[in-house]
Structure 1
């Protein structure tokens, strides 16, 4: 339908409200409908007109929608997201007052679909300008979706035909798409993109409901190894809170450079680590543990020309009794190649010559 004025649009909205026509009202708030491109509906001051045609809280809902149309036309998705949130908040006020009826569900569907789109666009806009953190807008979107979910879930007395609970499946699907970042983060971990994995898994953890203990533990199962590979070791209290003490000894081995402890822990909890898919990820921590061990040896000897024999002796003290000089040299060469050590091997003198400036770079700088 083509509208020749804002007043005509609001009159059609008023008629649809009187008739409880959820499908028509859904098209009137949808950004997939052609009306959003109508310049006559792109206003930043529609409140007065909305109040003349519509009762509260629908006047606020459609005022927010018109202002969102104005923001989208101006390519300002942060403001559009904000107005969409206001529109949904007004809708929720009206929706929860409706008893034994669910004709407004199509309106909710349209509002939530556009909210997620705006949140994604706003996140990209804020990141591009350096004014926001990844996921900020999606986090707010998830909170808004949950406000609708609570209204639907609390409708326990209505008959099935008019129950608002029909909307729960749609809302769960939208929340899944928002929290899909967990699965993206896990894939990034397996692809060895640990910084990306950290971003997505951290977002999933911070936005997971605090009462969803099982989900929190599942996210942490992958986030903890990623954090350790980036040089951030988890506090024991955090591991105990989520029943993930399997990682405690792993963190201790990284902290102290104890290769023997790492091997023993991987063996002891092998079934759990393999089942969750993190065993090979934890194996990569061996280089970090060796780096810590060799750093301690270097600091103990207080020289930038460290005999390779000293490293071999340290490895033997860790229980690696069958290691020889060639293997030791290969380990040191691998650490140099991966950036864990800044230096070179003097084959003639059987020594590791380390840089006098930051010879063991921070782990976070390597990923």
Structure 2
């Protein structure tokens, strides 16, 4: 390479990288090796020479640098996100060798964090680019790059998880939660949530909670809370999502809103209705008519409210979860009827009349029996159905227990 012995751009770059490696400055190296700096590396793109780089940079850092420069060149010069993604994968493979080589050291973890985020982002862009340009075939999966990114990150995760002999302060296991959060984002995107359980189990067994940053813990609780919600484990979901909301950075308004999109349905299923002030503050007025309908026990309006904002609810994956609020609305109908008749023995025909008004004019007696039986079975109403007298007999003491005490 002409002029390398003098002060060439590649010479300066390699010296800079060697200095950071010698000083074990992972944060500076992560910043220098981020694709966000790709424009500043433009003078190097015509001089990417593996032989020269290998001569001045120890392996396997040389492979990491070559892959990084080629990835940046693919973005800046070639405008090819698919090729850039493939070079980023090569960079992750080189990074796994670096992780393996550095015994009892974890200063390189910031580089891994940055690389993991950028790999996921490039995979997303590459898959979108394929769909947009029609660069797909019948045997290619729609999220092929994201799945490949997950496989690459799992290789890093195994190395970190298996670093169980090093002391906590130098253990690579500190990097597990960051990788898990990136993998969660991918699994939610490609709808493979069943893959998350081995990751959470490994993290629990690592016993490294005190080493994880609050920001990473908040993200982890957000995703595990979402998964608990989808698994109908509402109490656990409330605990995890509440932690994420209460510990999220005060100025991270967008993140607070994202958390609330899942925390609000959990709270409602547990009988806690959010205030209008909260909905207005975080621009979540889509929930307002849903909340009002459940309070009133107006199932017909609840159906209308869900349909009116179906695009928002489906888009966030909570439509079917919100439909479970119908049983609570039915419970509120029974509760209002019980207050009106002021008796622990309620004619089912009276309940049926209320349901015709607030739900469906054509509802049958058998359907009312079924709804009441479900409410009793789930513990939302304490009582029994007297078929002989066609009455709902409710407990004289606390016939409508708090939902938080009866909901899983």
Aligned to 2:293: 253
* Counterpart mapping for 1:32-111 below 5 A: 106=107
TM-score (norm 2): 0.49
Q: 1:230 aligned to 244, 249, 270, which one?
A: 270
Q: Secondary structure at the match of 1:249?
A: helix
Q: Distance in 1 between matches of 2:350 and 2:321?
A: 29
* Counterpart mapping for 1:164-203 below 5 A: 175-176=215-216, 179-203=219-243
Aligned to 1:354: 394
Aligned pair in 2 of structure 1 residues 232, 116: CA closer, same or farther (>3 Å)?
farther
Q: What is the Cα deviation at residue 142 of structure 1?
A: 3.6
Q: 2:344 aligned to 281, 304, 315, which one?
A: 304
Aligned to 1:221: 261
C-alpha deviations, 1:221-272, integer Å up to 9, x for none?
Answer: 0000001111111001101111111111111122222212211101111111
* Structure 1 stretches lacking a partner, 5+ long: 1-19, 25-104, 121-136, 144-174
Q: Distance in 1 between matches of 2:267 and 2:281?
A: 17
Q: Distance in 2 between matches of 1:181 and 1:321?
A: 44
Q: Distance in 1 between matches of 2:240 and 2:286?
A: 23
Q: Secondary structure at the match of 2:361?
A: coil
Report the more deviating stretch, 201-210 or 218-227. 201-210
Q: Distance in 2 between matches of 1:205 and 1:112?
A: 28
Q: 1:241 aligned to 274, 281, 295, which one?
A: 281
Q: Distance in 2 between matches of 1:193 and 1:351?
A: 33
Aligned to 2:332: 292
Does structure 2 retain, via aligned residues, the 8 Å contact 1:139–1:207? no
C-alpha deviations, 1:26-55, integer Å up to 9, x for none?
Answer: xxxxxxxxxxxxxxxxxxxxxxxxxxxxxx
Q: Distance in 1 between matches of 2:210 and 2:270?
A: 24
TM-score (norm 1): 0.55
Q: Distance in 2 between matches of 1:107 and 1:320?
A: 63
C-alpha deviations, 1:301-353, integer Å up to 9, x for none?
Answer: 01111000011100111141011111111111111111111111111111111
Q: Secondary structure at the match of 1:180?
A: helix
Aligned to 2:127: none
C-alpha deviations, 1:112-138, integer Å up to 9, x for none?
Answer: 777996xx9xxxxxxxxxxxxxxxx97
- The answer to whether residue 249 in structure 2 is matched with residue 209 in structure 1 is yes
Q: Distance in 2 between matches of 1:325 and 1:267?
A: 27
- The answer to whether residue 384 in structure 2 is matched with residue 344 in structure 1 is yes
Q: Distance in 1 between matches of 2:286 and 2:359?
A: 22
Aligned pair in 2 of structure 1 residues 178, 271: CA closer, same or farther (>3 Å)?
closer
Q: Distance in 2 between matches of 1:113 and 1:255?
A: 53
Aligned to 1:265: 305
Aligned pair in 2 of structure 1 residues 113, 218: CA closer, same or farther (>3 Å)?
farther
Q: What is the Cα deviation at residue 184 of structure 1?
A: 0.5
C-alpha deviations, 1:133-163, integer Å up to 9, x for none?
Answer: xxxx9799646xxxxxxxxxxxxxxxxxxxx
Aligned to 1:329: 369
* Structure 2 stretches lacking a partner, 5+ long: 1-20, 26-105, 111-166, 178-207
Q: 1:320 aligned to 360, 365, 373, which one?
A: 360
Q: Secondary structure at the match of 2:107?
A: helix
Q: Secondary structure at the match of 2:393?
A: strand
Aligned to 1:124: none
Query: How many residue pairs end up in the alignment?
Result: 224
Does structure 2 retain, via aligned residues, the 8 Å contact 1:306–1:352? yes
Q: Secondary structure at the match of 2:388?
A: coil
Aligned pair in 2 of structure 1 residues 316, 182: CA closer, same or farther (>3 Å)?
same
Q: Distance in 2 between matches of 1:177 and 1:114?
A: 18
Q: Distance in 2 between matches of 1:203 and 1:323?
A: 42
Q: Distance in 2 between matches of 1:250 and 1:285?
A: 9
Q: Distance in 1 between matches of 2:210 and 2:299?
A: 40
Does structure 2 retain, via aligned residues, the 8 Å contact 1:336–1:342? yes
